Amino acid sequence: MAKDRKVWFITGASRGIGLDIAKAALSAGDRVVATGRDAGAVKTALPDTDDAIALQLDVTDPKQATTAVAEAMEQFGRIDVLVNNAGYGQLGVFEEIGHDAILRQFDTNLHGTLHVTRAVLPVMRRNTSGHIFNLSSIGGALGFDIASIYCATKFAVEGFSECLALEVKPFNIGVTIVQPGFFRTDFLDERSIRFSERAISDYADYAQATQGFYTSQNHAQAGDPAKLGAALVRLSREKTPPLRYAAGSDAHEYLSGAYEARMAELSDWQKLSKSTDGAAVSAA
């Protein structure tokens, strides 16, 4: 294999952003290991080429992650780019979301990312090279209505990724947190989103109005997932890729506003922040 042809390992690749990333990598001449809970659906969605294989992988199962990585290595001999994309959105007012639903959300969005990263890292360390894309969201940097649990998982992905980047830098492994805005995928379809199953009357008007807004945006979002796939291919070839990549003009706007607000608040409360310092300790 030519050195400039990368091997991508992509989770959640049967549809949506994961599938478009796979197609973009193949179009660039790279090879792809596309995974999903239904390997048949992944295979059907992918272009018919010897440069791609479809594997079954439920990211919540660490054993499946290890097996899928071993199969990828048997087929292509290396993994250069990992895309942790598998996930879904659990929406609803916090009090209305049950404990089991919260666990499922964390198992997929956060623990799935941890399981697959743990399986792939030994391969990248041996090669002293690699690039990990962890799919976060603008909801990984600021909060949105009825998205407390979803945002909690994405905030966790960002914290994990930022620390991981420090740990793997000596091995020439890069980490990029991808923060998409609203993209025209099936993310708001029933297959990709969950709403709370019980209702508390005090929240009724607020919850219904917000849920109605999200539903109305389905397949009307501004972002083009094919262009996002192409952007990640470009980033995979950068010598110094960014730690964070805001995908979409809406993402740039939302994140800029959030950072500016935080800086203003930090400045407003600077005096109180510094008031908690202890007395200086004099040198003996």
DSSP 217: T
pLDDT value, residue 107: 98
* Beta carbons within 8 Å of 132's beta carbon, 6+ residues apart: 81, 82, 84, 117, 120, 124, 161, 164, 168, 173, 174, 175, 176
* Percent residues over pLDDT 90 in the chain: 81
pLDDT tens per residue across span 250-275: 999 999 999 999 999 999 999 999 99
pLDDT tens per residue across span 224-233: 899 999 999 9
| Catalytic annotation, pick one of 6, 88, 148, 154 | 154
pLDDT value, residue 190: 60
pTM of the model: 0.91
| Catalytic annotation, pick one of 14, 136, 137, 148 | 136
| Catalytic annotation, pick one of 150, 214, 245, 254 | 150
* Beta carbons within 8 Å of 32's beta carbon, 6+ residues apart: 7, 8, 10, 13, 22, 25, 26, 46, 51, 52, 53
169 strand-pairing partners = none
Q: What angle do CA 216, 222, 225 make, to 5 degrees?
A: 110
pLDDT tens per residue across span 30-85: 999 999 999 999 999 999 999 999 999 999 999 999 999 999 999 999 999 999 99
pLDDT value, residue 206: 87
In the residue annotation, 150 being an active-site residue is answered as yes
pLDDT value, residue 214: 72
* Beta carbons within 8 Å of 138's beta carbon, 6+ residues apart: 144, 179, 180, 181, 246, 250, 251, 254, 255
Q: Which CATH number fits domain 7-273: 3.40.30.10, 3.40.50.720, 2.40.50.100, 3.30.710.10?
A: 3.40.50.720
Q: Which of 12, 16, 63, 59 is nearest to 36 (CA)?
A: 12
Show the tokens assigned to 60: 């919540």
Show the tokens assigned to 10: 């992509």
